[in-house]
Amino acid sequence: MIRVRFLGTAASRPTVGRNVSGIAVQREGDSILLDCGEGTQRQIMRFGSGFSFSHIFITHGHADHFLGLPGLLRTMGLQGREEPMTIHGPGATVELLRTAVRMGIERLAFPVEVRGLRHGDRVGFDGWAMHAYEVDHGVPALGYALVEELRLGRFDVEMARRLGVPEGPLFGRLHRGEAVEVDGRTITPDEVVGPPRPGRKVVYTGDTRPARTTAEMAMAADLLIHDATFGQEEKKRAWETRHSTAAEAAQVAARAKVKRLVLTHLSARYADSPKVLEEQARAIFPASVVARDGLEIEIGYRA
């Protein structure tokens, strides 16, 4: 199961009900953090996401996306953390992020590495990877895509039985792609295993205008998390500040044929009326929802 927990969904500054950007993502035994705005550690405690992140991916160098790093790292140190941490961000933000790390280094007893990424870079994990891609925010900025490797095809138990394969280790060997011998006959994997199945994909844009790169990276994604700072009535403002409207985010989702769209990074002017953004998006892409702090989305395996 992939679990996506929204820790902060406000743009630029916190409001009474929303903190600034932060998203916790868990996949099997891996845990990562996407952006770390001021107060993210408080949100982690509030929503029970835990502090076991091995990697933090920062989209760009604006304060509402990284200023929570010093406090978060210091708290991890006070908790006795020893496991290493890697913080990733656009190459142009490396020195800024290193400065943030130094601000929290007082209690650090674990290694922290800051790595610069660029469009097309890939950070590999066991069975999946994070892909960095360029977005359009007027400053060096990256979006990130969690992309799983292909899964094994479905194992046809009934066919295996008909072919005389005894249940047990031989099933596993066939499923892993090995041919087996049964009563002097060779049974090959293609006789009992279907074609490889696509893994899951989650894409997070960070702050951006609608971008071709997002539509390409998010093609057929299970979940697209897109900047939706403004409503359509503020389209000019969105263009000037290099953000997106909810409707523009929905257009990207429709173009990419994603399964679900979550709108985040909401301007404070929508603090009391986020439904207008949801309505504008759903008019274009019905499977749209406005994120709220604490929202958790679970993504199961594809059929």
Give 294's contacts (C-beta < 8 A, 6+ positions apart): 5, 6, 46, 47
Residue 164, classed as helix, strand or coil, is coil
pLDDT digits 0-9 by tens, 206-224: 999 999 999 999 999 999 9
Domain boundaries, the chain: 2-151+197-299, 157-191
Find the catalytic residue in 64, 222, 227, 293: 64
Burial bucket for residue 300 (CB in 10 Å: 0-12, 13-18, 19+): exposed
pLDDT digits 0-9 by tens, 114-154: 999 999 999 999 999 999 999 999 999 999 999 999 988 88
CA distances 35 to 97, 193, 249, Å, are 12, 40, 19
* Residue range 57-80: mean pLDDT, rounded: 97
The backbone region for 299, taken as left when phi is positive above 0, alpha when psi lies in -120 to 50, beta otherwise, is: beta
Q: Which residues pair with 245 in a beta bridge?
A: 230
Question: Tell me, what's the pLDDT at 152?
Answer: 86
Question: Tell me, what's the pLDDT at 225?
Answer: 99
Annotation marks residue 126 as catalytic: no
Q: Report the C-alpha gap between 238 and 210 in whole angstroms.
A: 10
Say if residue 107's pLDDT is above 80: no
Alpha helices in the chain (DSSP H): 40-47, 63-66, 69-78, 94-103, 157-162, 169-175, 212-217, 235-241, 246-256, 275-282
Question: Tell me, what's the pLDDT at 84?
Answer: 97
HSE value, Cβ hemisphere, 13 Å, CA-based, for 183: 4
Q: Report the C-alpha gap between 262 and 289 in whole angstroms.
A: 5
Question: Tell me, what's the pLDDT at 108?
Answer: 83
pLDDT digits 0-9 by tens, 265-302: 999 999 878 999 999 999 999 999 999 999 999 999 87
Q: Report the C-alpha gap between 38 and 40 in whole angstroms.
A: 6
Question: Tell me, what's the pLDDT at 64?
Answer: 98
- Domain 2-151+197-299 fold is Metallo-beta-lactamase; Chain A (3.60.15)
pLDDT digits 0-9 by tens, 11-31: 999 999 999 999 999 999 999
Question: Tell me, what's the pLDDT at 86?
Answer: 99
